[in-house]
Amino acid sequence: MSKRVPNKKYTPEFKKLVVETMLKGKLGYSETAERFEIRHKRVQDWERIYLEEGPEGLAIEHRGRGSTGRPKKLPKAVEED
């Protein structure tokens, strides 16, 4: 069984270190995950954020489900005669 901590919160500096180590060392997700004792899915997510938004994007909380893109339903206005 792994000793990884579920739902652990990582600092933006740590996330940046992980992604940059992977990119500079030309490591795979599994190798990087083993080295830092985290899940490889986290490494994939952090790399995607790093490449799309830059290092600053790792400081933004990306929790919860994303928006479906549909506008919120507004209550119907009551018409007065």
Is residue 6 included in any domain, yes or no?
no
Higher confidence at residue 19 or residue 78? 19
Is residue 69 included in any domain, yes or no?
no
pLDDT of residue 25: 93
CA dist 14 and 12 (Å) reads 5
Is residue 5 included in any domain, yes or no?
no
Question: Mean per-residue pLDDT for 32-53?
Answer: 92
Q: Is-contact 33 42, C-beta < 8 A?
A: yes
Higher confidence at residue 6 or residue 9? 9
Global pTM?
0.68
Question: Mean per-residue pLDDT for 48-67?
Answer: 82
Evaluate if residue 51 carries a pLDDT over 80: yes
Q: Which residues constitute the domain of residue 31?
A: 12-59
Is residue 54 included in any domain, yes or no?
yes
Is residue 43 included in any domain, yes or no?
yes
Task: Please tell me the total count of domains within the chain.
Answer: 1
